[in-house]
Amino acid sequence: MKVIGLTGGIASGKSTVSRMLRRKGAYIIDADEIAKEIVKAGKPAWKDIIEHFGRDILNDDGTIKRRKLANIVFSDEKKLKMLNEITHPRIVEEIKKELEACKKRKEKVVVIDAALLLETGLDVLVDEVWVVAVDEKTQIERLIEREKSISYTEAMERIRAQMPLEQKLKFATRIIDNSGDVENTQNQVDKLWREIEKTCEDSPYEM
Ligand code: ADP
């Protein structure tokens, strides 16, 4: 089984690339989906979050006001650290569980799609690190376009809270440049997929 860690900044195009890889046949472990799952009402992380951030961050139905919580933590480094300490170990634990299940099912290629792959040390679990790169101007434009009501300042806060791209690139086995159009990115993914298939063929006993 080949395990690829797919990472990159917010709105760099990780989901776009992971969709392309899914169409190729990769199994995707989506850290964002897991992050949403573990904070559902009643779960241990949800309880810890209320304990630290108060009930003001809850909607009437008990779900977390994601936007409100995001605004609190992205303007206060200590609070972001606190939230990460609550959520990250649980996300990592779930990812490890999914990875074990993939091994049992004998998946050929598994992609861990995680913005915080490197920050959480998940990269020790992967064979290759693929970094989706985009220039900051395009990143901000796409982030604002996707989130609609986010301001320029909020967009910058979210980008600055993450590990800078040039640092991420130091860990990269492969780089996917998503500054161009989707077709251009698809071509890069097609090429990388052919190479991955080749390495799988070359090591049949790993499968
Ligand atoms: P991430 O998962 O890294 O946060 P997304 O894949 O959601 O990023 O991409 C961010 C936004 O930019 C989305 O709205 C997406 O549709 C758009 N997008 C991604 N890649 C491109 C591209 N090459 N050209 C134009 N828009 C893109």
Q: Which residues contact 19 (CB under 8 A, 6 or more apart)?
A: none
Domain boundaries, the chain: 2-200
Q: Which residues pair with 3 in a beta bridge?
A: 110
- As a whole number of angstroms, the distance between CA 29 and CA 178 comes to 21
Give tens-digit pLDDT for 94-111. 999 999 999 999 999 999
Residue from 128, 169, 168 nearest 3 by CA? 128
Superfamily of domain 2-200: P-loop containing nucleotide triphosphate hydrolases (3.40.50.300)
Tokens of 66: 């994601």
- As a whole number of angstroms, the distance between CA 9 and CA 57 comes to 26
Q: Which residues contact 122 (CB under 8 A, 6 or more apart)?
A: 5, 92, 95, 112, 114, 116
Residue 206: what pLDDT? Answer: 52
Distance 189 CA to ligand 1 centre (A): 15
Distance 19 CA to ligand 1 centre (A): 11
Which residue owns the Cα nearest ligand 1 atom 9? 13
Q: Is the pLDDT of residue 5 over 90?
A: yes
What count of residues does the chain have? 207
Distance 93 CA to ligand 1 centre (A): 27
Q: Is the pLDDT of residue 207 over 80?
A: no
**Ligand 1 pocket residues where CB is under 6 Å:** 8, 10-16, 142, 146, 178, 181-182, 185
Q: Is the pLDDT of residue 23 over 90?
A: yes
Residue 199: what pLDDT? Answer: 86
Tokens 């909607």, residue located: 59
Give tens-digit pLDDT for 169-186. 999 999 999 999 999 999
**Nearest atom, ligand 1, residue 179 CA:** 23
> What integer best gives the mean pLDDT of the chain?
94
Give tens-digit pLDDT for 144-167. 999 988 999 999 999 998 999 999
Distance 123 CA to ligand 1 centre (A): 23
Residue from 69, 94, 180 nearest 135 by CA? 180
- As a whole number of angstroms, the distance between CA 67 and CA 16 comes to 22
pTM for this one? 0.93
Tokens 């949800």, residue located: 46
Give tens-digit pLDDT for 42-95. 999 999 999 999 999 999 999 999 989 999 998 899 999 999 999 999 999 999
Q: Is the pLDDT of residue 142 over 90?
A: yes
Q: Is the pLDDT of residue 8 over 80?
A: yes
Residue 203: what pLDDT? Answer: 66
Residue from 30, 33, 12 nearest 185 by CA? 12
Distance 50 CA to ligand 1 centre (A): 32
Tokens of 80: 């972001």
Which residue owns the Cα nearest ligand 1 atom 21? 182
Query: What value does the mean pLDDT take over residues 11-22?
Result: 98
